[in-house]
């Protein structure tokens, strides 16, 4: 797994890589702590990877985020953790 950070539309987002739909291609969750918009870029072998192939998600709140296959079914889950 790797991660990165980007700034778009005024929100700073963390990119969390994982295969969230289990198709064998890596996807990226772009998560903005707080109320900024969040979305997933779906990995694809024959179409453009990026904003043209994305789904919007609403994750309000500020969390530490990571991903992994925590139950061993070859699909990554996203783990949100709030300190305190
Ligand atoms: Ca995938
Ligand atoms: Ca899993």
Q: Which ligand is nearest to the CA of 75?
A: 2
Instruction: Give CA angle at 61 (59, 65), nearest 5°.
Output: 70
Residues with CB under 5 Å of ion ligand 1 are: 19, 21, 23, 25, 27, 43
- pLDDT score at 83: 84
Q: How far apart are CA 2 and CA 24, in angstroms?
A: 16
Q: Which ligand is nearest to the CA of 23?
A: 1
Percent of the chain whose pLDDT exceeds 70: 87
Residues with CB under 5 Å of ion ligand 2 are: 69, 71, 73, 75
pLDDT class of 6 with cuts at 50, 70, 90: low
Backbone angles phi, psi at 52, to 5 degrees: -70, -15
Q: How far apart are CA 63 and CA 66, in angstroms?
A: 10
- pLDDT score at 40: 93
Please, what sign has the CA dihedral across residues 78, 63, 3, 56? positive
Q: How far apart are CA 36 and CA 45, in angstroms?
A: 29
- pLDDT score at 29: 94
- pLDDT score at 7: 66
Any bridge partners for residue 45, and if so which? none
């Amino acid at each position: 797994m790797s991660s990165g950070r980007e700034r778009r539309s005024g929100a700073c987002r963390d990119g969390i890589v994982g295969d969230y739909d289990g198709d064998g291609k890596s996807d990226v969750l772009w998560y903005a702590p707080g109320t900024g918009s969040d979305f997933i870029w779906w990995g694809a072998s024959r179409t453009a990877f990026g904003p043209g192939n994305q789904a919007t998600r609403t994750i309000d709140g500020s969390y530490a985020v990571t991903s992994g296959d925590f139950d061993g079914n070859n699909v990554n889950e996203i783990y949100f953790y709030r300190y305190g």
